[in-house]
Chains A and B, each alone.
Chain A
Amino acid sequence: DSGVTQTPKHLITATGQRVTLRCSPRSGDLSVYWYQQSLDQGLQFLIQYYNGEERAKGNILERFSAQQFPDLHSELNLSSLELGDSALYFCASSVTGQDPYNEQFFGPGTRLTVL
Chain B
Amino acid sequence: DAKTTQPPSMDCAEGRAANLPCNHSTISGNEYVYWYRQIHSQGPQYIIHGLKNNETNEMASLIITEDRKSSTLILPHATLRDTAVYYCIVFSGNTPLVFGKGTRLSVIA
> Which among B11-19, B62-70, B76-84, B87-95 touches the partner chain?
B87-95
A94 CB, min distance to chain B CBs, angstroms: 9
What class of interface size applies to chain A in its complex with B? 20 to 34
Q: Which of A79-115 contact B (CB under 8 A)?
A: 88, 90, 92, 98-109, 111
**At the interface, yes or no: A19 with Cβ under 8 Å from chain B?**
no
Interface size (B, Cβ < 8 Å)?
A: 25
Q: Is B46 within 8 A of A99, CB to CB? A: no
Taking CB atoms, residues of chain A closer than 8 Å to B10 are: none
Task: Report the nearest B residue to A96, measured CB to CB.
Answer: B93
**At the interface, yes or no: B98 with Cβ under 8 Å from chain A?**
yes
Knowing A103-B34, A108-B42 are in contact, say whether A56-B99 is a contact too (CB < 8 A). no
Q: Is B41 within 8 A of A88, CB to CB? A: yes
Q: Is A90 within 8 A of B43, CB to CB? A: yes
**At the interface, yes or no: A43 with Cβ under 8 Å from chain B?**
yes
Taking CB atoms, residues of chain B closer than 8 Å to A8 are: none
Taking CB atoms, residues of chain B closer than 8 Å to A106 are: 43-46
**At the interface, yes or no: A64 with Cβ under 8 Å from chain B?**
no
Question: What is the bound-complex CA distance between A104 and B98, given in angstroms?
Answer: 12
A97 CB, min distance to chain B CBs, angstroms: 8
Question: What is the bound-complex CA distance between A43 and B2, given in angstroms?
Answer: 11
Report the 9 A-B pairs with minimum CB-CB distance, sorted nearest first.
Answer: A100-B93, A106-B43, A43-B99, A45-B96, A103-B46, A100-B32, A106-B44, A99-B93, A108-B43
Q: Is B32 within 8 A of A2, CB to CB? A: no
Q: Is B49 within 8 A of A101, CB to CB? A: yes
Question: What is the bound-complex CA distance between A45 and B98, given in angstroms?
Answer: 7
Which of B43, B92, B96, B100 is close to A48, meaning CB atoms less than 8 Å apart? B96
Which of A2, A98, A102 is close to B94, meaning CB atoms less than 8 Å apart? A98
Taking CB atoms, residues of chain B closer than 8 Å to A4 are: 43
Which of B38, B43, B49, B87 is close to A107, meaning CB atoms less than 8 Å apart? B43
Task: Report the nearest B residue to A107, measured CB to CB.
Answer: B43
Known pairs A33-B97, A101-B93, A102-B93 / 16 extra A-B pairs, C-beta < 8 Å: A33-B96, A45-B98, A48-B96, A56-B96, A58-B96, A88-B41, A90-B44, A98-B93, A99-B93, A100-B30, A100-B91, A100-B94, A101-B32, A101-B49, A101-B51, A103-B46
